[in-house]
Amino acid sequence: MAEAHQAVAFQFTITPEGIDLQLSYQALNQIYLSGVRSWKKRVSRMRNRVIKGVYPASPSSWLFVAIGILATMYMQSDPSMGLIAKIQQHLPLSLHVSLSAQGQTMVSALVFSTLLWLSLILALRFCLKLLLSYHQWMFEQHGRVSNTTKVWVTLLRLLSGRKPLLYSYQTSLPHLPVPAVRDTLTRYLDSVRPLLTDPEYKRMTNLADEFESSLGNRLQRYLKLKALWATNYVSDWWEEYIYLRGRGPIMVNSNYYGMDFLYVTPTSVQAARAGNTITALLLYRRKVNREELTPSRVPGTVIPLCAAQCERMFNTTRTPGVETDVLQHWQDSEFVAVYNRGRYYRLWVYRAGRLLSAREIEHQMQWILDDPSPPLPGEEKLGALTAGDRVPWAQIRKTHFSSGVNKRSLDIIEKAAFFVTLDDEAQGMKGDDPTGNLDRYAKSLLHGKCYDRWFDKSFSIVIYKNGKSGLNAEHSWADAPTVAHLWEYTLATDAFQLGYTEDGHCKGEVERSLPPPQRLSWEIPSEVQDQVVSSLTVARALADDVDCHVFPFRDFGKGRIKKLRVSPDAFIQISLQLAYFRDRGSFCLTYEASMTRLFREGRTETVRSCSNQSCAFVKALEAGEGPEQCKRLFRQASEKHQNLYRMAMTGAGIDRHLFCLYVVSKYLGVDSPFLKEVLSEPWRLSTSQTPVQQMELFDLKNHPDFVSLGGGFGPVADDGYGVSYIIVGEDMINFHVSSKHSCGETDSHRFGAQIAKALQEIMAVLSADTASCSKGPAQPQSKKLL
């Protein structure tokens, strides 16, 4: 819109009499208002930088320090012990000339007050970092809190008393520690013991010992050097080597999805749902830009989590490269990119510095839906380039999208706040086969038609014909909890704050002078069209191979599990071990994602959920051991799992440390048989819990049908399963299971049935004698302490 205004704001014609200049005051006024909005954002960012820079103090605290120093000096006392006098001696000559002696003393006192204030801020920040480095609270049982932890909680509350901004804690968060090589190797060998025979375990132990005595300590020295220099010794390498250097398709293999409400669709009007959804997302972006979001915390505590992943949530695109991709982030964008029936559009969401209302965005979306124009040659399936292999996409992009009309249109998509697809299909739980419909819904969000999503965008919103919605997120810039936080806010704001009229339209009025969305232009030569066909073939083969199964488990939820004094996550993970054993007849290396956001720029760590204790419980249950023996083994397995989770959260995991040692070995050009074998082990069971972080936004008591389905991802191993689950309320757990049709040994529906059966049987075992169950280990302190 701003470009159009600039084009018509100044019109001139050259005549024999001279130049006839014509001004459009309406256009100039809109340019002026856009500029005002831009300057307001600059001022807001500058203000937030000041507030963050002095946290945990406040800017106003400088005034108290200055008044205190001046008052003390007025009482003929020198709190600076001579420093003010020395500052006065070193004032610029111009001040000595222009100011009286009393004025010079006043300036010197203010300079001293400022230095003292800054020193106090650094001291407070150092104390806060020390407090946030204490993690022993996580390992204490509920009701047995040590005096040290009680004092720690009090001090932490005192230093965290003022309302922080989104990024206020960033500089106070501790750095991720580098574990000792011996500790990591010991934990690794313990994790693989149930998966190896005695000769295999002895061989792996010898490899580990050889690595520790020969190469391990050398690599560790380089890693500790990086930890001293870098903010986080893992995150940059993790982003580059795990995500950006992957040359295969990111669709299915990397991207993941999030779903709409399970039972409810707030409106069946597609354009209206798009209007509210886009508005809610832009309101969230405004909160991020202004840092008005409350910092995320460990559930039930005041302990902050790193918010760095929010920085690249919007206006971000993964651009392909021959050797490695690059994440590009732009400061701000006033438009979104829209795809509908093979056509691409730019939709301006601001007009004269004002965010369009949801009703106005609905009006624009309806214009797109009603647009009868056909796709340009080669336009319809252009998005398949982002779904196929990365190298051909990088080469085509460099050759045919680096100049001219194609570059301009591609820039619009890549610089957009996010991508929106107005899908021409209906999805969700409907008809006589609700579970089958959920499976199709999951596949649609995961890969769609392989060309109607822009998989390189940080996230893409999908609005279906019947008003159902969902998202597809690129993985390199952030992990699922960050996107889940965004999506929770979007769903809640859409349904409970923005709302709809009785006939299903967005509320508000429409400014009829709004210009329509801009249709993007392309010039797609035959070479590009051939590559689109090739990429689409690769993507469709991958998409057709994915077997998705989504099912809500309603027999019980965390409410009943917690009554047994068992961690719901441990309960589910042990159930997954039992289900996998029954499905495949063996145990496997299991990946559960845990966060390391207690540390600055932390991302994830792996919890190796298949332990000696969980395997012992599964074997005992399958062998028909007595209930008391099974309960005892389950309690041991649950406590072991909780301890593994705590260790991972506090920087004492296994896999990120070994991964970084492997990267260092590659930089040094040395080979390690131990590291090579460890990094090549397949994760045949990859699991992740989608956390519910903003339960206060959803009034499930009055609106019990507004429950989220969560989201899911594709299988990590060709012969394995991907399992995502979300614990909703007290009585429901939603599961997303994925596998590949090409593997004859896996079946997502069969495994889903095994999961449900395992949950029911373990609950039956633990519920056989509730009184004895109540004597088991307590839930983790992180849920109950603060």
Catalytic residues: 475
| Total Cβ atoms within 10 A of residue 111 | 16
What sections of 90-196 are H helices per DSSP? Answer: 93-98, 101-132, 147-159, 181-192
Distinct helix (H) and strand (E) counts, the chain:
26, 20
DSSP secondary structure, 590-606, as one string: EEEEEE-TTSTT--EEE
Q: Among candidates 569, 560, 570, 611, which has minimal Cα distance to 590?
A: 611
| Span between the terminal Cα atoms of the chain, in Å | 50
| DSSP-based three-state secondary structure for 364 | helix
Cβ neighbours of residue 318 closer than 8 Å, sequence gap 6 or more: 244, 250, 325, 326, 327, 328, 456, 457, 458, 474, 476, 477
User: Residue 501 — φ and ψ, nearest 5°?
Assistant: -75, 175
The SS3 of residue 301 is coil
**Relative orientation angle of helices 101-132 and 61-74, to the nearest 10 degrees:** 130
What are the beta bridge partners of residue 87?
none
Which structure tokens are listed for 479?
Answer: 């992990």
Contacts of 146 (CB under 8 A, 6+ apart): 136, 140
What residues contact 311, with CB distance under 8 A and at least 6 apart?
329
Alpha carbons 404 and 411: distance in angstroms, whole number: 11
What is the helix (H) or strand (E) element at residue 551, kind and residue range?
Answer: strand 546-553
506-509 long-range contacts, Cβ below 8 Å, gap at least 24? 506/272, 506/275, 506/276, 506/279, 506/357, 506/358, 506/359, 506/361, 506/362, 507/358, 507/359, 508/357, 508/358, 508/359, 508/360, 509/357, 509/359
Q: How many CB atoms lie within 10 A of CB 36?
A: 12
Cross-strand pairs, 734: 552, 726
Residue partners of 170: CB distance under 8 A and separation at least 6: 52, 306, 307, 308, 600
Cα 760 to Cα 573: distance, rounded to the nearest angstrom: 14
